[in-house]
Structure 1
Amino acid sequence: MCVRLARNLFKTSDFIQCQKLILAVSGGSDSLALMFLVKEHLETLSVPPEMIVVTVDHQLRKESTREVETVAKICRVHHIKHIAVRWEGEKPKTHIASSARVARYDLLVKEAQKQGASVIMTGHTLNDQVETYQMRYQRLQKNRGALHGEVGAMRDEVYSSGFAGVLRGEADGIRDENHAREIRKKITKKNDSPLYERGLSCIPREALLHRKVRLIRPLLGVKRQTLRNYLRLQGQTWIDDPTNEDRNFERVRVRQSLHPEKLAYIAQKINEAALQRRQQAKNIADLILALDITVQHGRCFIAKPALFLQKHSSFPFVVGLFAVLMGGGFYLLPNQKLSMLVQKLCLDSVEKKRFTYAGSVIEYNKHGISLWREGRNMKEAIVEPDKTFIWDGRYQITNHGSKAIKIGAANLEQLKFLLKNSDFELEKPHFPSLQSLLMISNHKGYDIPELISRAVVHKHVIIKRIMAPFDWLSSREDAALVNVLEPFFNIEVKR
């Protein structure tokens, strides 16, 4: 059983170009089983990567330090390199579980980069997967009435009018009819299904952390009891976390209410949802490529689409997606909000209309749709030397200089002065969107890196445009979509 279990868990691609591998091990049964199974598998490889076990001490319970020492002792016995890292600082009063998760992954990525590891593996099991599905499904059920009505309205509006209001017109954007037919065939092949809840695909087997380090979860198809039986055969005990029985946590309540016989059924539902999410990502990517979209100087413009593109069931998702990305949002819009977006966009008017949504201003007329960051809640911040800061969910600023810098939104008067006194020219400046650009300043002056090609005041600073919903953790299921989006936001300025 042990040999068969270890043999079926890993893919050859898990270890490609991997010289060092981080295993997140808490001492619980799942992560300890992962450690021994990986060790067994690596012994079968001709050139295995170095395995490094990392234990995160969240410092939330008094037993945590002793548990870290227990893992370290097990690793010493089995000649495995072990590193302990701590979640330092004041802990939040609420949302402790989610905050600890973010801190844990951030610490794992930091250690992976320090060690030169390209892969992190965690011990999430089929039980974790099913519990996640059940929690998300129950939340979805609570809103079922509203979602049923609004998603139905969205579908009816999309198919009957195809954004006919301001965007009505013949398909004159594509002159070559043969080319139009080919694109139409490709992106409308499976265009008769409504947008589903992406979250029901649950935990992906593979993801990308910080756009840098692969996160792989090999045990997602294995029951926790199977792993515990495996550990017993190894003569290995594990640590039981008392919070796993604390009914104050939603996951514990769901776990205790789940019947074991439902695991296989829900697992199948998750697999179907993952395949659907992957297919939808490809469909949306094809639609984005077929549309005429530009992102420049803080503004996104979607030119008036041909009618068959307007009728695409994913068109609302694309508009909502770019609204989130331009507005610096961290989460994509759920179906309920997408249906509200459709209702706003489907106004039958030839005049220019404007509204705010997902942190963005959305303006549309007979020429198409413009989106830019809403002009509020863009707070100033200080970036100290040798620190990295995420500003407004849109920019990552790394200060390699010797002095602190101030960052914030571009000031209108300073913006006009820079445009007037630099070699940068804009034929028709759109100041509302230009004012959403990042401005760096100190006592010597100010600089808007996206507009000015040379450093005016600041040096040793790196500014990178990010896509917040995909920057911290990007699922493999969304790879096709992310690959298409990246060129729109591939902005990196080094001073």
Structure 2
Amino acid sequence: MNVVPTSAETDLDPALIFDRIRFEGLTSVLVAVSGGGDSLALLYLLARLSASRLQFPAIVAVTVDHKLRAEAAEEARYVAMLCGELGVAHRTLEWGEPKPDTGLSAMAREARYRLLCQAAREAGTDLILTGHTLDDQIETYAMREQRTREQGSERGLAAMAPATLLEREIWLVRPLLRVTREALRNYLRARNIAWRDDPSNDDLKYERVRVRKTLRKDERELILAKIAAKTEQRRAQNTSAERLLQQSVTVRDGTLAAIDKSSFRGDVDAQRLAIGVLLAAMGGLSLLPPAEICEKAIRHIAGEGTSRRISLGRCVIEVRRDKALILRELRSLPKITVGPGETAIWDGRFRLVNWTQGAVGIEPIGDGRLSLLREERVAVTHWAAVRSSPAISAEGELICLGSCGDHAKLPAGISLARHLALFDHILSGYDVGLAQGLAELFRLPPYKRLPVNQINKN
């Protein structure tokens, strides 16, 4: 990973920091500013870049107040004041929902990204910049290395990607991953710009703080070399797995995947990743299944088991002479109601949008409604796959059986689309090619083009 050089101890070159980002065609860009040193430096560097260009998107700064600390409101006002001096638009957004008793950090992060995406839409942009630094990257690797020893998967050791796609529509870009935290603070000190320190950054109850306190200076270069190697490894595995999926898998109606056994061969790591992605897509999982689940699936597909059908990762894998079929098992399928103007993800596999004036229900077709399909003489490839597919109802009346091609049309104001939980909520820039390949299998629209160059080079 290359570190951005400084022309002097207290100077940074915005042209080098933002050199990978494509700003062309944007009318605005959102920058997340908490008031801490990293994000304030990002704001000032971006403003300096804007001043050096004849044309540049309007900068909109957003501060998220999680309503967890009394000082946060004053910090937001401080950022607003600095933005006023810079001539930059500023907004403060609040996370006013009840706070959970456990998992607060994860929930706060989720809320922050949700609010930032909302602000980006309202600003008419699909680009958010955040102040994650080289130090954050090193700490992230150290935290994930410990989990890797416990859980086995090494994909997370590529650490944070320079860009991440949120909800298939908003790119979150991290331009400071090559810049140290101290270089940013020196930049602010030289300009007499004060920042606000969050006390939680020194609270040892947080894993990141504990890791930060124990990291030695002589570990940094070694960790950066490891991140670069793991990034390249992840890129290579993604390419191999994508190729394997394209050459051996066919998906029908978004609910049945057929694997050609003769062509599902090759590198073990590629097989493991390909089957993991497929199980996640068919089972509605937002994370890859554990390695042992993937390996068991591979052995079953190869015919090493004694049973023709097994259940793994919320899926049924059915082996036939020349192929293996993967479909959602008929267990733990939810029944939900989607109110007027609401959007919901059903079972991690389907996205329902309701713009009507009434509530819409979605639940599995199950065994009871299969007779309706038989009466309509619908061509069904696999009846078990249909049973775990969605049925849509309004005012208690069935209006659509949602996965059998175009035999049933949804009324105006209701849309139903296949959702890939593994990638559609959060897509690492490292995995865009693999996600594109999966989207093609499901005949889904492509993911947005990366807004940064050289995504696989750190």
TM-score > 0.5 by shorter chain:
yes
1:331, distance to aligned residue in structure 2 (A): 0.2
Q: Return closer, same or farther for 1:451/1:385 CA change in 2, 3 Å cut-off.
A: same
Could you say which residue in structure 2 is the equivalent of 1:489?
Answer: 442
Could you say which residue in structure 1 is the equivalent of 2:383?
Answer: 431
Could you say which residue in structure 2 is the equivalent of 1:241?
Answer: 198
**Matching residue's letter, 2:310:** F
Match of 2:363 among 408, 420, 423: 408
Asked whether the equivalents of residues 64 and 95 of structure 2 are also in contact (C-alpha less than 8 Å), the reply is yes
1:252, distance to aligned residue in structure 2 (A): 1.0
SS at match of 2:325: strand
Could you say which residue in structure 1 is the equivalent of 2:56?
Answer: 48
Could you say which residue in structure 1 is the equivalent of 2:248?
Answer: 291
Structure 1 spans left out of the alignment, 5+ residues:
148-195
Q: Return closer, same or farther for 1:313/1:224 CA change in 2, 3 Å cut-off.
A: closer
Q: Distance in 2 between matches of 1:342 and 1:9?
A: 44
Could you say which residue in structure 2 is the equivalent of 1:111?
Answer: 119
Could you say which residue in structure 1 is the equivalent of 2:417?
Answer: 464
Asked whether the equivalents of residues 138 and 223 of structure 2 are also in contact (C-alpha less than 8 Å), the reply is yes
Could you say which residue in structure 1 is the equivalent of 2:132?
Answer: 124
1:97 corresponds to 2:54:
no
1:288, distance to aligned residue in structure 2 (A): 1.7
**Matching residue's letter, 2:289:** L
Q: Distance in 2 between matches of 1:118 and 1:441?
A: 34
Asked whether the equivalents of residues 297 and 437 of structure 1 are also in contact (C-alpha less than 8 Å), the reply is no
1:260, distance to aligned residue in structure 2 (A): 2.4
Please identify, of 297-306 and 25-34, the stretch whose mean Cα deviation from structure 2 is larger.
Answer: 297-306
- Counterparts of 1:288-367 in structure 2, within 5 Å, are 288-296=245-253, 298-306=255-263, 309=265, 313-348=269-304, 353-367=308-322
Q: Distance in 2 between matches of 1:19 and 1:305?
A: 50
Q: Whose helix fraction is larger, Structure 1's or Structure 2's?
A: 1
SS at match of 2:164: strand
1:280 corresponds to 2:252:
no
Q: Return closer, same or farther for 1:462/1:275 CA change in 2, 3 Å cut-off.
A: same
1:230 corresponds to 2:162:
no
Asked whether the equivalents of residues 323 and 362 of structure 1 are also in contact (C-alpha less than 8 Å), the reply is no
Q: Return closer, same or farther for 1:457/1:303 CA change in 2, 3 Å cut-off.
A: closer
Please identify, of 441-450 and 368-377, the stretch whose mean Cα deviation from structure 2 is larger.
Answer: 441-450
Q: Distance in 1 between matches of 2:289 and 2:320?
A: 23
CA displacement 1:401-454 (0-9 Å, x = unmatched): 010111111132223214413xx621x552221011111112233311332636
**Matching residue's letter, 1:105:** Y
Match of 1:137 among 121, 133, 145: 145
Q: Distance in 2 between matches of 1:94 and 1:118?
A: 32
Q: Return closer, same or farther for 1:78/1:485 CA change in 2, 3 Å cut-off.
A: same
Asked whether the equivalents of residues 72 and 82 of structure 1 are also in contact (C-alpha less than 8 Å), the reply is yes
Q: Distance in 2 between matches of 1:454 and 1:295?
A: 15
- Counterparts of 1:153-192 in structure 2, within 5 Å, are none
Asked whether the equivalents of residues 131 and 176 of structure 2 are also in contact (C-alpha less than 8 Å), the reply is yes
SS at match of 2:404: coil
Asked whether the equivalents of residues 22 and 117 of structure 1 are also in contact (C-alpha less than 8 Å), the reply is yes
Please identify, of 119-128 and 407-416, the stretch whose mean Cα deviation from structure 2 is larger.
Answer: 407-416
Asked whether the equivalents of residues 121 and 217 of structure 1 are also in contact (C-alpha less than 8 Å), the reply is yes
1:327, distance to aligned residue in structure 2 (A): 0.3
1:352, distance to aligned residue in structure 2 (A): 5.6
Asked whether the equivalents of residues 297 and 433 of structure 1 are also in contact (C-alpha less than 8 Å), the reply is no
Please identify, of 452-461 and 294-303, the stretch whose mean Cα deviation from structure 2 is larger.
Answer: 452-461
1:204, distance to aligned residue in structure 2 (A): 0.3
Asked whether the equivalents of residues 120 and 213 of structure 1 are also in contact (C-alpha less than 8 Å), the reply is yes
Q: TM-score, normalization: structure 1?
A: 0.83
**Matching residue's letter, 1:224:** R
Structure 2 spans left out of the alignment, 5+ residues:
1-7, 446-458
Q: Distance in 1 between matches of 2:410 and 2:245?
A: 38
Could you say which residue in structure 2 is the equivalent of 1:168?
Answer: none
Please identify, of 254-263 and 2-11, the stretch whose mean Cα deviation from structure 2 is larger.
Answer: 2-11
Asked whether the equivalents of residues 384 and 399 of structure 1 are also in contact (C-alpha less than 8 Å), the reply is yes
Match of 2:324 among 369, 380, 392: 369
Q: Distance in 2 between matches of 1:278 and 1:36?
A: 33
Q: Distance in 1 between matches of 2:29 and 2:404?
A: 41
Asked whether the equivalents of residues 205 and 216 of structure 1 are also in contact (C-alpha less than 8 Å), the reply is yes
Please identify, of 263-272 and 244-253, the stretch whose mean Cα deviation from structure 2 is larger.
Answer: 263-272
1:447 corresponds to 2:400:
yes
1:60, distance to aligned residue in structure 2 (A): 1.5
Could you say which residue in structure 1 is the equivalent of 2:449?
Answer: none
Q: Distance in 2 between matches of 1:489 and 1:365?
A: 22
Q: Return closer, same or farther for 1:297/1:101 CA change in 2, 3 Å cut-off.
A: closer
Q: TM-score, normalization: structure 2?
A: 0.90
SS at match of 1:89: coil
Q: Return closer, same or farther for 1:418/1:338 CA change in 2, 3 Å cut-off.
A: closer
Q: Return closer, same or farther for 1:452/1:139 CA change in 2, 3 Å cut-off.
A: closer
Asked whether the equivalents of residues 62 and 90 of structure 2 are also in contact (C-alpha less than 8 Å), the reply is yes
Could you say which residue in structure 2 is the equivalent of 1:253?
Answer: 210
CA displacement 1:182-201 (0-9 Å, x = unmatched): xxxxxxxxxxxxxx611100
Q: Distance in 2 between matches of 1:254 and 1:3?
A: 28
Q: Distance in 2 between matches of 1:312 and 1:270?
A: 22
SS at match of 2:56: coil
1:466, distance to aligned residue in structure 2 (A): 1.2
Asked whether the equivalents of residues 303 and 369 of structure 1 are also in contact (C-alpha less than 8 Å), the reply is yes
Q: Distance in 2 between matches of 1:81 and 1:435?
A: 52
Cα RMSD of the aligned pairs, angstroms, is 2.1
SS at match of 1:314: helix
Asked whether the equivalents of residues 391 and 398 of structure 2 are also in contact (C-alpha less than 8 Å), the reply is no
Q: Return closer, same or farther for 1:456/1:229 CA change in 2, 3 Å cut-off.
A: closer
**Matching residue's letter, 1:225:** E
Q: Return closer, same or farther for 1:415/1:347 CA change in 2, 3 Å cut-off.
A: closer
**Matching residue's letter, 1:9:** I
**Matching residue's letter, 1:328:** G
Q: Distance in 2 between matches of 1:434 and 1:480?
A: 30
Q: Return closer, same or farther for 1:457/1:202 CA change in 2, 3 Å cut-off.
A: closer
**Matching residue's letter, 1:316:** R
CA displacement 1:333-380 (0-9 Å, x = unmatched): 34344334445445536x762111111111113221111111111111
CA displacement 1:194-244 (0-9 Å, x = unmatched): xx6111001000121111112110001111111111110111111111111
